[in-house]
């Protein structure tokens, strides 16, 4: 953990994505400004948050079941049990998980992410995904980049509009990973429920948070050159493997896992 960031300053005058998401998930680590955004969102936003988190659960458990034991999770969010390391260490106790987020409130709650099983390891990097080389340099000190790593960008990239180079950033991260690694990505759509998406984006924008919701074709671009794992790029509740089929329900979240050749 960065020593100089050990006393993070929390801005409670503006809403923050991690805290609005925490409110949507029913968490308590948010402030009135975050709740105000959440209250103005359509009720489907809570469903989307729940579906997204459930996808993360299934995808992480499946990857661990395939023997993946190194995870780099960027845009981790405020701890919400079960967290990624709890899911994967249930399957592979020696799994190593590196968390990253740019929000000081996530750093403040990082202790909950650092309670690893003794056989495994967790760590936390306070960093912005828009500085991928900085994240990679730090992650190289914690993970073995000679062996496959699962990179998870769960409900993160829609916080980067096109002018912030989202595709270039994901390309930089993916290119640094060895063959046999995986990219796990979920992303809010602009084309499944266009009116709802526009409403959600407008409410976040009023709080000063710019969103880049994307079409299916645009989200697919993040996986260019990678081998999508079945069932491919689908909505979050449609992505499952080796588990019971989740309840069929509409979802505005795209999700996929892909193998890096
Ligand atoms: C919607 S939450 C998702 C949390 C978790 N990945 C999940 O899906 O349950 C998005 C997270 O991304 C973080 N985030 C947003 N922009 C970021 C950036 N530029 N760099 C790093 N993290 C960012 C937010 O602070 C927040 O914690």
Residue 6: per-residue pLDDT: 55
Q: Which atom of ligand 1 is nearest to the CA of 186?
A: 8
CATH code where residue 218 lies: 3.40.50.150
Give the tens place of pLDDT for each residue, 95-117. Answer: 999 999 999 999 999 988 889 99
Q: What is the domain extent for residue 154?
A: 3-259
How remote is the CA of residue 181 from the centroid of ligand 1, in Å?
21
Do the Cβ atoms of 257 and 181 come closer than 8 Å?
no
- CA pair distance 172, 159, nearest whole angstrom: 17
Residue 7: per-residue pLDDT: 64
Residue 57: per-residue pLDDT: 98
Mean pLDDT, rounded, of the chain? 95
Mutate to test the pocket of ligand 1, among 58, 102, 204 (most ligand atoms within 8 A of CB): 102
Strand (E) or helix (H) holding 220: helix 216-220
Give the tens place of pLDDT for each residue, 120-173. Answer: 999 999 999 999 999 999 999 999 999 999 999 999 999 999 999 999 999 999
Nearest CA to ligand 1 atom 26: 18
Number of domains the chain contains: 1
How remote is the CA of residue 155 from the centroid of ligand 1, in Å?
7
Q: Which atom of ligand 1 is nearest to the CA of 103?
A: 25
How remote is the CA of residue 22 from the centroid of ligand 1, in Å?
11
- CA pair distance 232, 259, nearest whole angstrom: 11
- DSSP secondary structure string, 151-213? EEEES-GGGS-GGG-HHHHHHHHHHTSPTT-EEEEEEEBSSSSHHHHHHHHHHHHHTT-----
Give the tens place of pLDDT for each residue, 174-188. Answer: 999 999 999 999 999
User: Per-residue pLDDT for 80 more than 60?
Assistant: yes
């Amino acid at each position: 953990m960065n020593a100089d960031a050990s006393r993070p300053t929390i801005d409670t005058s503006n809403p923050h994505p991690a805290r609005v998401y925490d409110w949507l998930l029913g968490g308590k680590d948010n402030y009135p400004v975050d709740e105000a955004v959440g209250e103005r969102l359509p009720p489907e936003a809570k469903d989307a948050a729940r579906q997204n988190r459930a996808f993360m659960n299934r995808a992480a458990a499946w990857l661990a079941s395939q023997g993946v034991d190194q995870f780099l999770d960027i845009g981790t969010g405020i701890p919400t049990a079960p967290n990624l390391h709890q899911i994967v260490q249930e399957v592979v106790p020696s799994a190593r998980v590196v968390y990253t987020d740019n929000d000081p409130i996530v750093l403040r709650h990082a202790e909950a992410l650092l309670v690893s099983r003794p056989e495994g390891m967790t760590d936390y990097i306070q960093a912005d995904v828009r500085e991928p080389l900085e994240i990679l340099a730090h992650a190289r000190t914690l993970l073995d980049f000679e062996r496959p790593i699962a990179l998870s960008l769960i409900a993160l990239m829609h916080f980067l509009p096109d002018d912030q180079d989202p595709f270039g950033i994901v390309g930089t991260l993916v290119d640094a990973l060895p063959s046999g690694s995986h990219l796990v990505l979920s992303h809010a759509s602009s084309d499944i429920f266009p009116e709802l998406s526009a409403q959600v984006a407008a409410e976040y924008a009023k709080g000063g948070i710019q969103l880049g919701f994307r079409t299916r074709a645009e989200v697919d671009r993040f996986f260019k050159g990678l081998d999508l794992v079945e069932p491919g790029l689908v909505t979050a509740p449609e992505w499952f493997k080796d588990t019971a089929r989740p309840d069929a329900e509409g979802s505005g979240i795209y999700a996929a896992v892909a193998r890096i050749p």
